[in-house]
Each structure stands twice: as C-alpha cells, then as structure tokens.
C-alpha cells in the first residue's frame, strides 16, 4: 500500500511538472534563443551561433592554402610557391614539411592583389616575383625581390603602363635559345636566339596541344616540358618533347595543374593543383606523391545528426564527405575522390545523400561512408538536395549558376524529385538563372526554395510538394543585386532562415563590394529580421573574378542547419501506410530493456508533437521529438542516455507524449 501511494504521488508530481512545462509554451514551440544556427561559408569554414546571433563560434577552419606558382631550390632542399588567394610567398622542404610564410604584410598599392609569378636567383640568394594590384578603377604591376627567407623586400620596378607576362620564359643558355608559349596564331611553343632573332615554331597546332601555358627545360637532357589545360574538363596534361619539338610524348593527365617545376638531380616533377595540392612524381609521370593535400578546403553543404551529435559536410574542392562532432572536433573523412560534392542530406539512422555537380549524380552511402552507390545519373550540375523520408522522395536542384563552381553554366535551373532509389524522376518547378537551395516542410506538404527572379532580386518561394501553387514568400527589393543562398526551416518556431549576399555592380575593372548575412522570417514571409552572426566583413572590398573557383572571399553562405536542443532526434513515420483513427502512446518494446528500446506512437491528425523522457523525480532527462508532424505511425529509439548523451542510471522512467489530440504517459523500466 505504501509503495502504491508513493508511486501515485510520483506520477502526480510528474504530470504536474509536465503540465507546467507544456502549458507554458505557446503552440508547444521552443523559444528561438535556445537553439543554434550552423552555417557554411566555403572561404571561411563552419560557424555556429545562438539563434539570436550571439555566441558566434568558428568550428571548422578550412586550410586556405591554395598553391599557384612554384619554384625549386634543389641544393637548399626547398620549394617555394605563391598563393592564389593571398598576397604571400611560402616555402617548405621538398617533401612538403616545415611550411612557412615569407611575407608579413602586403607590399605595393592597397587593394585587391595577386602575385603572378616567381623566380629564384640562387647564386645571389634572392627570390623575385611579379604582382598586380587593383586601385579601384585601374590595375598596376609591380616587380619585387627579397632574400630567400623573405627578408629585405624591395620594389625594384613600378610602372603603371607595364603589363606583366604571367608565364615564365625559360632559357637554354648553353644552346643560346629562349623558349615561350604563344596563345596567338600560330598556337604553341616558339623559340629564338637569346637576342630575339631567328624565331622558329617548335610545337604548333591546336589539334596537338591546344594552348600551352607553363613550360620548363631540361637543357642537359635535351628535353622540353609543358602543360596544356582543357577548360571544358578542367584537366591538364603534361607533355615532353625534344628541344626541337620532335618525339612528343604524354607524361600524365591530372585535374587542374596550375604550375610545375623540374628537379633534374632527383629526376622529379613537382606541380600545384586546382584542389589546393602540391604533388610530385618521377619525370615519366609515375610514382605520384602528395606533398600537401588539405583535409578541409571549402565546406559547402552541411547536415546535422543531432541524435548522434554529429555534423556532416561536403567539400567540393577536396572532393570529399566529412564528419565531425557538433563542436567541430574529431574530423573524419568518410568519402574521398569525389568530383564536386555539394548539397548533402541525411536519413539519420542509415544513409548520407549528396549531389555531385561535377559528375551530374545523386549519390548515397552509409553513415560510415560505405558503400557509395549512384542513385540518379545524367543530371546537369545538381546542387541542393533535400529528403522527404515519410514519402520516400529525394528533391534536388538541377542546372543554373552555382556559387564557387567551375562551370560550365546554364541559364535557368529546375527543381526535380525522384523516389529514394532514383526511380520516377519528375520536374517540380523552374528557377531563374541561379541554382537555389531547398528545404522541406513535410508536415504541411510544402517545399521552400531560394531564387533569383527576372529583376535579379533575391526571392524565397514555396509550393506544394508536387510543384503546384507557387507563391513568393520573401522578395528583396531594397538591394540592387541581391542573391539568396542557403535556406532552412524551423518547423517548431515556424520560421525560415536564409543566407543572403549583396553586390553593387561597377564597371568592368573595378572591385565589387558585397555584404553577406543570415536572415529569418515567419513561414509566411512576415517579420523579416537580420541575424548579426551571419554577417561577414561588409567593409572589405573584394573583386569577384572569373577564375575557375572564384576568389576565396566570395561571400555566399551555402548551407544552414538548425539545432534546437530539445528535438535530439528526428522521428519519422514507419512504413505503415494507414492513418490511425486515434492518437496515442503505445507500449515501448522491449520493456524492461537493458540497452535501447523503441517508443511507438500514432497521430490521427497532423500537428505539433512533443515526446519526452522523465525520471521518477519528475525531471525531464531527454526530449526525443519536438516538431510538427503529419498523421501516421511513428517509432523512435531511446538509448537510455540523457540530453547530453551521458548514460543514465537503471530504474523507472516515464515517457510523456503531447499531441494535437491530448497527452499520454507510460512507464519504462531500464535494467543494466
């Protein structure tokens, strides 16, 4: 009897506490300040903040090294290179170790700059380089030199009217010849005597090598080396021939070779690549080694597995799918050697899905990265991706302009969908010019996306899941050229979050100023507000160039993910197709349990749902669901851990379900 009365008192206390908790919350929602926003900006990494923009943290810092021009000091055991995104020189040992930056500040005129080439004078102990700088509406060129350690930098030539040739001109002093590439007719490689006389064609014909860029000589071995980039495939080939152009042979084909140098003493070839790598191989192209290969270059798409406290993201430059803890620690590479993975989405308990813009595929893998399987093929640069698990559908964007892309571009993009196995592809909606981003509200059967309309203003639109009844939700008419990027939905707080970056076009040679940030509104587009956490340095002026991967500071926010702590896992309808006639909490199985148990419930009508675990003191220890859900049958696992993931003591616990038709509580028994 005493035990029965005590039990009743405990249950009464729990129900009283639960009523006070649930009753205090309007619409069973969660105050927005309690959550977190995660976002990716490829040039700046992964950040998070509170939903009100406070407490900003940088979780993942990308390796911003992007090697460009390269030169070797074989006797000194050093290689030197320039950075495509930074006005600096670097050097390391020949095996890539002991990297150091040589310059401490920018030299020459202020403004956007780029070092265009380097050369070493080893006898004098000097490094020479050329650079050009933007002065707003015109460019100037500068020639500089320093000691090999970067000290005593001086500008020894500065002429506004000089046009710097980015390509080096190697010399065969013993043979009395200089060599150069020509992008004019006739295309190819030419040479002349050292005084410029007796010009002759060595390698000609676009059908043979196209438009060569970098060349190097092995005068003692009587060999000429050069690269030939293919702008359509973004791949480059390194060729070799005799100094007179005879006996042309192909050594290797690689993606995006930018520059190369020869180590004739060791018989090696070094080169820099478009994915931020420095590699080397034997002179015949065999025995390839990675000297510098970044693990994280540009985080792009992102998805959260809140139940396991993990975040996943794609890196289109490195070509990989990665995973880390929610605080950015414990980074793992799950899938590598992809072409250009972008948008990413999860089925939390089983699979990762992503869009690969380079191969035109939707692919999937297990949460550990294996095995990789093709879901949809033959697409035109898919970008964003979203999953509707309840209806077994994948949605994606196809075609259009994509931020940080290598091209080629197509005007206009479409939203498409298919079954989770890739069958039954359908067109849902047409987008304007750019490839926007997607987010689904499965409970209300809506899809939201960002778009650029005919007036180039950023727009958020939504429709039914089949593409019918399209409506504009948010339109930016305040900025002259506004681009809406990533989008995410808070279906508990009924809000939209999106990224926006704005430019003000100028004439062709002037820098383009920008401002970038995160905004939010209600689901109907009302009450738009700016969230300070997403703002980049709007005072900085950068030129957005036409380089294959764009400038490193292009400010697009390419992914947003929301973490509201109370929904620690996303419950999904089970495969039962029928709609229940009543709502309620079913017995968990197994019960008692010693590792995990399945908690089942049913919803006769759609609406906000909250499923929580309480201890015998009436204290909430875990929230398993807190979101709007469609009618259906649901199962959600509980692993006997609290909100932080810590294991709980054995004993009696209670599940409490709050649903549109009422509330219900059941008892669980956890045994160790």
What pLDDT does 536 receive?
39
Indicate whether 290 belongs to any domain: no
What pLDDT does 353 receive?
97
Answer yes or no: do 483 and 607 share one domain: no
Answer yes or no: do 181 and 157 share one domain: no
Mean per-residue pLDDT for 243-250? 87
Element (H, E) at 270: strand 268-273
Answer yes or no: do 386 and 526 share one domain: yes
What pLDDT does 544 receive?
30
Residue 412: name the closest of 386, 381, 375 by CA.
Answer: 381
Answer yes or no: do 513 and 604 share one domain: no
Indicate whether 397 belongs to any domain: yes
* Domain total of the chain: 4
Q: How far apart are CA 402 and CA 404, in angstroms?
A: 6
Indicate whether 362 belongs to any domain: yes
Mention every residue, 6+ apart, whose C-beta is less than 8 A from residue 476.
Answer: 457, 458, 459, 482, 484, 500
HSE of 551 in the Cβ direction (CA atoms, 13 Å)? Answer: 16
Indicate whether 278 belongs to any domain: no
Answer yes or no: do 341 and 251 share one domain: no
pLDDT tens by residue, 344-403: 999 866 899 999 998 999 999 999 999 999 999 999 889 999 998 778 899 999 887 665
Answer yes or no: do 156 and 100 share one domain: yes
Indicate whether 282 belongs to any domain: no
pLDDT tens by residue, 521-551: 998 888 888 886 544 333 233 333 223 333 3
Q: Across-strand partners of 333?
A: 322
**DSSP readout, 431-475?**
E-SB---EEEETTTTEEEEEEE-TT--EEEEEEETTS-S-EEEEE
* 213 vs 89, more confident: 89
Answer yes or no: do 441 and 551 share one domain: yes
Final residue before a domain boundary, out of 225, 240, 272: 272
Mean per-residue pLDDT for 427-438? 76
Answer yes or no: do 469 and 610 share one domain: no
Indicate whether 50 belongs to any domain: yes
Domain around 653: 2-27+571-670
Answer yes or no: do 390 and 301 share one domain: yes
Task: Tell me the average pLDDT of the chain.
Answer: 76
Final residue before a domain boundary, out of 164, 191, 225: 164
Which of 101-115, 233-247, 386-400, 615-629 has the least mean pLDDT?
Answer: 101-115
391 φ, ψ to 5°? -105, 5
Answer yes or no: do 422 and 302 share one domain: yes
Indicate whether 285 belongs to any domain: no
Q: What CATH number is given to the structural domain containing 591?
A: 2.60.40.4070
Indicate whether 519 belongs to any domain: yes
Q: What CATH number is given to the structural domain containing 464?
A: 2.120.10.30
Final residue before a domain boundary, out of 209, 239, 272: 272
Give the total residue count for the chain.
672
What pLDDT does 90 receive?
87
* 4 vs 284, more confident: 284
Answer yes or no: do 647 and 514 share one domain: no
pLDDT tens by residue, 221-243: 889 888 877 766 667 888 888 98
Tokens of 567: 């929904």
Answer yes or no: do 330 and 478 share one domain: yes
């Amino acid at each position: 009897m005493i035990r029965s009365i005590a039990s009743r008192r405990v249950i009464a206390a729990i129900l009283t506490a639960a009523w006070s908790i649930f009753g205090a919350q309007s619409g069973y929602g969660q105050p927005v300040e309690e959550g977190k926003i995660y976002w990716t900006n490829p040039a700046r990494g992964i950040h998070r903040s509170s939903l009100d923009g406070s407490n900003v943290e940088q979780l993942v810092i990308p390796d911003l090294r992007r090697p460009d021009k390269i030169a070797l000091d074989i006797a000194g055991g050093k290689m030197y290179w320039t950075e495509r995104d930074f006005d600096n020189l670097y050097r390391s040992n020949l095996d890539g170790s002991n990297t150091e930056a040589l310059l401490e500040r920018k030299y020459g005129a202020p403004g956007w700059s780029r070092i265009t080439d380097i050369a070493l004078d080893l006898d004098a102990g000097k490094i020479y380089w050329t650079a050009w700088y933007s002065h707003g509406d015109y460019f100037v060129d500068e020639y500089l030199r320093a000691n090999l350690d970067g000290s005593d930098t001086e500008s020894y030539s500065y002429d506004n009217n000089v046009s710097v040739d980015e390509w080096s001109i190697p010399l065969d002093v013993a043979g009395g010849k200089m060599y150069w590439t020509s992008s004019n007719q006739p295309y190819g490689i030419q040479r002349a005597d050292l005084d410029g006389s007796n010009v002759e064609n060595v390698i000609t014909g676009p059908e043979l090598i196209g438009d060569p860029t970098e060349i190097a000589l092995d005068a003692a071995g009587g060999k000429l080396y050069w690269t030939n980039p293919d702008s359509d495939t973004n791949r480059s080939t390194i060729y070799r021939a005799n100094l007179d152009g005879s006996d042309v042979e192909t050594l290797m084909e690689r993606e995006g070779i930018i520059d190369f140098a020869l180590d004739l003493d060791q018989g090696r070839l070094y080169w820099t690549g478009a994915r931020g790598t420095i590699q080397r191989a034997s002179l015949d192209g065999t025995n390839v080694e990675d000297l510098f290969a970044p693990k994280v270059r540009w985080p792009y798409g992102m998805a959260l597995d809140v139940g396991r406290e993990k975040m996943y993201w794609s890196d289109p430059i490195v070509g990989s799918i990665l995973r880390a803890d929610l605080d950015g620690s414990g980074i793992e590479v799950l899938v590598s050697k992809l072409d250009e993975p972008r948008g990413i989405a999860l089925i939390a308990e089983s699979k990762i899905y992503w869009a690969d813009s380079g191969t035109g595929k939707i692919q999937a893998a297990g949460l550990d990265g294996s095995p990789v399987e093709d879901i949809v093929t033959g697409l035109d640069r898919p970008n964003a991706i979203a999953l509707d698990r309840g209806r077994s559908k994948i949605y994606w964007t196809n075609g259009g302009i994509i931020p940080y892309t290598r091209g080629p571009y197509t005007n206009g993009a479409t939203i498409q969908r298919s079954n989770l196995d890739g069958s039954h592809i359908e067109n849902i909606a047409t987008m304007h010019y750019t490839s926007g981003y997607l987010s689904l509200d499965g409970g209300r059967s809506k899809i939201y996306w960002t778009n650029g309309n005919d007036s180039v203003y950023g727009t958020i639109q939504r429709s039914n899941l089949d593409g019918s009844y399209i409506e504009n939700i948010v339109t930016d008419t305040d900025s002259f050229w506004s681009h809406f990027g990533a989008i995410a939905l808070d279906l508990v707080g009924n809000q939209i979050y999106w990224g926006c970056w704005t430019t003000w076009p100028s004439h062709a040679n002037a820098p383009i100023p920008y401002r970038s940030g995160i905004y939010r509104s209600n689901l109907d587009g009302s009450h738009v507000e700016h969230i300070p956490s997403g703002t980049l340095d709007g005072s900085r002026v950068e030129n957005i160039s036409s380089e294959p991967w764009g400038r490193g500071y292009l400010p697009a926010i390419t992914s947003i993910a929301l973490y509201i702590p109370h929904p620690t896992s996303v419950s999904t309808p089970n495969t039962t197709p029928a709609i229940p006639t009543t709502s309620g909490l079913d017995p968990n199985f197994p019960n008692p349990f010693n590792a995990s148990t399945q908690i089942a419930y049913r919803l006769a009508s759609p609406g906000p749902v909250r499923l929580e675990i309480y201890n015998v003191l009436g204290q909430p220890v875990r929230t398993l669901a807190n979101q709007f859900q469609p009618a259906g049958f649901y199962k959600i696992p509980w692993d006997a851990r609290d909100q932080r993931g810590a294991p709980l003591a054995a004993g009696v616990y209670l599940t409490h379900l709050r649903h549109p038709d009422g509330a219900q509580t059941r008892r669980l028994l956890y045994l160790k």
